[in-house]
Amino acid sequence: GEPAQELLRFICGEVVRLFDLHLAWVGRKEADGQVSIAACGGNCVYAESLRTAGVRWDDAEGLGPIGAVLRSGQAQVFRVTDSAFRSWRDSAEQHGVRSVIVIPLITRGEIYGTFTLYSTQPDRFDATAIVKHLTEIAGRISVLVDMALDQQQLRLLSTAVTTAGTGVFICDRSGRIQ
């Protein structure tokens, strides 16, 4: 019965605690090329610095770890010393980040966003067992997001039918009939 954002925040916090990580956050791929932070757990100060810097997925030149995963659709592990971290290295090192795993979240057959986890240990995500566990958690997050989208759709339809005296068209922001 909790709102999806509260559940995501709880999941991020528990993953940080259980896996002894620095930070975990769920990001949403936005149509304008940005990645918004839907929920965060752990050292959210670093996440806030990412939000301020403007994480993007559509900029091939400055493509960081999040953008690389959103464009490829494959989970990837990065170390701060990797070239993909070039634009983010100073900030990451300032916050003690040494490695990151970025896992895509798939809902309704499309990439919704990412589950991104940071560690102060450079080899934290080298073991296949931890990658497997985190990937399974990301799969459950995808189900949660999918359920939240379904609930949102049901509320919209319920409101439309309740208030309408005649036929109803429900459109998205682009004017396409849903």
pLDDT at residue number 1:
54
CA angle in degrees (0–180, nearest 5) for 103-41-86 = 55
pLDDT at residue number 30:
82
pTM, 2 dp: 0.77
From first to last of its 178 residues, the chain has per-residue pLDDT tens of 566 788 888 989 999 999 999 999 888 888 877 778 888 999 888 777 776 666 666 665 556 788 888 888 889 898 888 876 777 777 778 888 899 999 999 888 888 888 999 999 999 999 899 889 988 988 888 787 777 766 767 777 777 777 766 666 778 888 888 7
pLDDT at residue number 17:
95
How many angstroms separate the CA atoms of 45 and 177, rounded? 40
3-state secondary structure the chain: CCCHHHHHHHHHHHHHHHCCCCEEEEEEECCCCEEEEEEEEECHHHHHHHHHHCCECCCCCCCCHHHHHHHHCCCEEEECCCHHHCCCHHHHHHCCCCEEEEEEEEECCEEEEEEEEEECCCCCCCCHHHHHHHHHHHHHHHHHHHHHHHHHHHHHHHHHHHHCCCCCCCECCCCCEC
